[in-house]
Structure 1
Amino acid sequence: MSASSRGPSRNTNQRSKTTTPPLASPSTSSASGVRAKPSDKLNPKTIDPFAEPQRSPSAFAAIYSKGGIPCRLVHGSVKHKLHWECPPEIIPFDPLLINLAEGLRETRHPYTFVSQEGFKELLMVPKAAEKALPLLPKLAAALKTALVHSDGAVFERGLNGLVQLSAVVGPALNIHLKNLLTSLSKRLMDKKYKDSVTTSLQKLEHYGGKVISDNSL
């Protein structure tokens, strides 16, 4: 075959190559969306094992975010305080006081302050003892979770809450103290908490009577 007969064929091939549109880059996506590629089925997206896991909100945090806790933290220049959406004396203790007791085991702000201050202030309203008595089993269970918590600050909030509750309901709390006092025994051996636990036990005995001595450490 002559060179002249091969020339047009070679030119035709070159023209066909130059007119062929370039293939789109796999990483290129249109503004309207990304077209699924066959490789997506073979290589599905996976979770980054090094990414920081997102922590689910606690029960108290979820209730707080939905407005179930009718008080909010007010930042002061010197001291923080709570603002109640309505007078706390007209708020039913069930379930608010239980929710606040469960919130004592929180470790994040502002939940730590709201639960601790809210629990204390709610127990200061008139007829608090009458309102709290039917809730003692649930309150004792909530305080137990704070007292056995590994975080020392949570333990101290639970301890304060226990003393505050005892000051309001008195001997009525004694029946629930057996399980609660055993939680204090481990902390009593810790030099850091020995004084606060000892003082709290003295207050519990004062509010609950001598019967506490039979159940104490």
Structure 2
Amino acid sequence: GSNVLRMSSGIQIKKKTAAQKSKTHSPESQPKPSDKLNPKTIDPFRAYSQPPSAFSATYARGGIPCRLVHGSVNHKLQWECPPETVPFDPLLLTLAEGLRETKHPYTFVSKEGFKELLLVEGAAEKAIPLLPRLVPVLKAALAHADDEVFGRGLDALVQLSAVVGPSLNDHLKLLLTNVS
């Protein structure tokens, strides 16, 4: 019939009908059976890209008004403006979130920045209103699996307690489970 194509060599080839053509798949559209035997593997030479944390992203775009100054022995922070003039909200909260960082320079900047901000004159008046939002962030640092992060969180809690005094008492029940 009309479905048969005759070649000059005498071979006959049947043409596919429209229904038969729709049933065929391109190799890209259907996985090969051997794909089940070849699970995807991790390329150990590929650069590992972890999404940046909120703190590292803020630091990278200049949202934290201080920078790390590398000394020959000791590091220190250089503030772009006097720390007394910096608004504690959101900076103190951002620095507290940075306490959970595990990479340099974020670990140093968050720890030193938190400490230096609490040393400014009038820090208690600026920090007390932030306690309801600051305590859960410190709790997260105290609950971290990394011992160094826990230590930074504990140091920050001691510094905060020295500054705000008895105002922290109402929030201790949230923190004591992580400290014990």
Q: Please, what TM-score do these two structures have when normalized by structure 1?
A: 0.63
Q: Alignment identity in percent? A: 68
**Which runs of 5 or more residues in structure 1 are unaligned?**
1-38, 186-217
**Residues 43 and 69 (structure 1), Cα distance of their counterparts in 2 relative to 1, 3 Å cut:** farther
> Which of 102, 117, 120 is the equivalent residue of 1:107?
102
CA distance in 2, matches of 1:60, 1:120: 16
1:129 aligns with 2:124: yes
With over 3 angstroms needed to count, the CA separation of the structure-2 counterparts of 1:115 and 1:40, relative to structure 1, is farther
Query: Is residue 165 from structure 1 mapped to residue 160 from structure 2 by the alignment?
Result: yes
Question: Alignment partner for residue 58 of structure 1, among 49, 53, 67?
Answer: 53
One-letter amino acid matched to 1:49: I
Equivalent of residue 49 in structure 1, options 28, 42, 46: 42
Alignment of 1:2-41 (within 5 A): 41=28
**Offset from partner CA, 1:35-69 (integer Å, 9 cap, x none):** xxxx894599xx86324541000010011111100
Unaligned runs of 5+ in 2: 1-25, 32-39
Q: 1:176 aligns with which of 168, 171, 175?
A: 171
| Higher-helix-fraction structure | 1
Give, in whole Å, the separation in 1 of the partners of 2:55 and 2:27: 40
Moved over 2 A (4+): 39-44, 47-53
Equivalent runs, 1:151-162 vs 2, <5 Å: 151-162=146-157
SS, match of residue 62 in structure 1:
helix
CA distance in 2, matches of 1:157, 1:172: 21
Query: Matches of 1:84 and 1:43 in 2, distance apart?
Result: 58
- Could you tell me which amino acid in structure 1 is paired with residue 72 of structure 2? S
Task: Answer 1 or 2: which has greater strand percent.
Answer: 2
- Whole-angstrom CA distance in 2 between matches of 1:94 and 1:48: 45
Following the alignment from structure 1 to structure 2, what is the Cα–Cα distance between the partners of residues 143 and 63?
18
* Structure 2 residue aligned with 1:194: none
Aligned equivalents of 2:51, 2:27: Cα separation in 1: 29
CA distance 1:106–1:40, change in 2 (3 Å): farther
Structure 2 partner of 1:77: 72
Helix, strand or coil at the partner of 1:72: strand
Structure 1 Cα separation of the partners of residues 42 and 105 of structure 2: 30
